[in-house]
Structure formats: structure tokens, C-alpha cells
């Protein structure tokens, strides 16, 4: 490829509209990769914390001791730990107030649901941005391509003889925007599908934990009611 048709020269010689499209696509690509790396760390950490907490929870130890050990750390928990803290804390508070067993379970489940919704909101944050970049970038790139080709053919009206050399630079710069659109869209789509699947799996684990823990709390509430 000659210097006249190098990518660098084509970008510099592109029309302002095409350059604006290229800038938007570069910005979208940088933003999506920033989200990808950040979200990858968040989901990996949440999965690891869920594995660790499940190991502690199902180890057969006293739940009260587990709750106190979590409170002693003084850090706000996430995921299952947050659900456990909220549910067990509300259960204990209502039990001290002398609430009935149905109220104990309902209050604990409500507190766990709120904690779960906060966690899901944290995990799903910025995923919509990846979906937007993945779905719109090809069309933005196509717009730049169409505009560039229109400009190239419009320029033929000012020349005596139409040749391939006259339109090649304009068409080349136009096709670059299509490539940039795909470059921005493909990683965003792949990452979105992967992260959405991982978040859905975590949500299923949270739902399962909520039901299992609710069953345990129900037994505690029934035992208290029988003792009363």
C-alpha cells in the first residue's frame, strides 16, 4: 500500500464528518474496554466471595457466631454475605420485639430481597452500555462509510475523467469507519453476553440461597413458637 493510501494519511485527510465518526467510535471502544476490565474484576470477586461464604455457611457452625464474626469485621458485605447479614439481623431484631413466626420469616425475606436487589444492581451496572456500544457501533460506522462514499463520488463532478485513483482514497477512508465500527462492537457484544450469563448464574445462586436460608429461619421460628 502506498503512502498516499496509508491508514494514517486516510484518517488525516478524511472529511470532518468522517473524522467525527471515527472519534466517536474510538471513544466508544475505549469506554467499552474500560467497562469490560472493570466488570470482569467485579464479577470474579463476587463469585469468589460467594464460594467462600457458602463454604462457611454450610460448614455446620453456629449461624449466630457466623453473624457476629461478620459484624466484627466492620465491612459492608456483598452478595450472599450481605443477604445473610440483612436476613439474620432482621430476624434477630424482630424476635427480640416478640414478633410472631410469620412476621419473623416475612421480615427476614424482605430484608434479604432488598440486599439481593442492591447486589444485582451493582453487578448489572454498565452492562447496558456494552449492549448499546455493541448494537449501535456498526450503524455509526456504516453512516461514516456512506458519507465518505457520497463525498468521493460527489468529488467526481469536479474532474474531467473518472478513474479509480480519483475515488480510491475517499472509498478507503469510508471503509475504515466500517472496520472501526466492528472493532468497537464485537468485543462489546461478546463481553455483554458473557457477563450477562455470569450475572444470571449468580442471581440463581442468590435465589437458591434465599430459599434455603428462609427454610432454616422458618425452622428456628417454628421452634420458638413451639417453645412459647
Separation CA 181–CA 6 (nearest Å) = 19
CB atoms within 10 A of CB 193: 13
Domain boundaries of the chain, sorted by first residue: 3-227
C-alpha cell at 143: 453512516
C-alpha cell at 30: 475505549
Residue with cell 464528518: 17
Whether the pLDDT of residue 4 is over 50: the answer is: no
What's the pTM?
0.81
* pLDDT at position 97: 83
C-alpha cell at 44: 470474579
The residues, ordered by sequence, that sit 6+ positions from 5 with a Cβ below 8 Å of its Cβ are 168, 169, 172
C-alpha cell at 99: 414478633
Separation CA 81–CA 131 (nearest Å) = 29
CB 86 within 8 Å of CB 115: yes
CB 71 within 8 Å of CB 56: no
More confident residue, 184 or 14: 184
* pLDDT at position 160: 58
pLDDT digits (tens, 9 = 90+) for 20-61: 888 999 999 999 999 999 999 999 999 999 999 998 888 877
CB atoms within 10 A of CB 208: 12
pLDDT digits (tens, 9 = 90+) for 140-174: 999 888 888 877 777 666 655 555 555 666 677 77
User: Which alpha helices (DSSP H) does the chain contain, by range?
Assistant: 7-13, 16-57, 63-73, 79-96, 101-124, 127-155, 164-227
pLDDT digits (tens, 9 = 90+) for 100-135: 888 888 999 999 999 999 999 999 999 999 999 999
CA distances 142 to 27, 111, 133, 138, 150, Å, are 16, 49, 14, 6, 12
Amino acid at each position: 500500500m502506498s503512502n498516499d493510501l496509508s491508514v494514517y494519511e486516510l484518517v488525516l485527510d478524511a472529511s470532518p464528518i468522517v473524522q467525527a465518526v471515527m472519534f466517536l467510535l474510538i471513544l466508544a471502544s475505549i469506554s467499552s474496554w474500560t467497562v469490560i476490565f472493570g466488570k470482569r474484576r467485579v464479577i470474579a470477586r463476587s463469585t469468589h466471595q460467594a464460594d467462600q461464604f457458602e463454604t462457611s455457611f454450610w460448614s455446620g457452625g453456629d449461624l449466630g457466631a457466623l453473624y457476629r464474626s461478620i459484624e466484627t469485621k466492620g465491612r459492608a458485605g456483598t452478595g450472599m454475605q450481605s443477604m445473610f447479614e440483612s436476613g439474620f439481623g432482621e430476624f434477630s431484631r424482630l424476635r427480640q420485639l416478640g414478633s410472631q413466626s410469620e412476621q419473623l420469616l416475612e421480615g427476614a425475606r424482605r430484608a434479604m430481597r432488598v440486599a439481593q436487589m442492591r447486589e444485582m444492581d451493582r453487578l448489572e451496572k454498565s452492562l447496558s452500555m456494552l449492549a448499546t456500544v455493541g448494537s449501535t457501533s456498526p450503524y455509526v460506522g456504516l453512516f461514516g462509510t456512506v458519507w465518505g462514499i457520497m463525498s468521493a463520488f460527489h468529488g467526481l463532478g469536479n474532474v474531467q475523467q473518472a478513474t479509480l485513483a480519483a475515488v480510491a482514497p475517499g472509498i478507503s477512508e469510508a471503509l475504515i469507519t466500517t472496520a472501526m465500527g466492528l472493532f468497537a462492537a464485537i468485543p462489546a457484544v461478546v463481553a455483554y453476553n458473557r457477563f450477562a450469563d455470569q450475572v444470571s448464574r449468580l442471581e440463581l445462586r442468590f435465589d437458591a440461597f434465599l430459599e434455603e436460608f428462609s427454610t432454616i429461619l422458618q425452622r428456628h421460628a417454628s421452634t420458638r413458637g413451639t417453645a412459647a
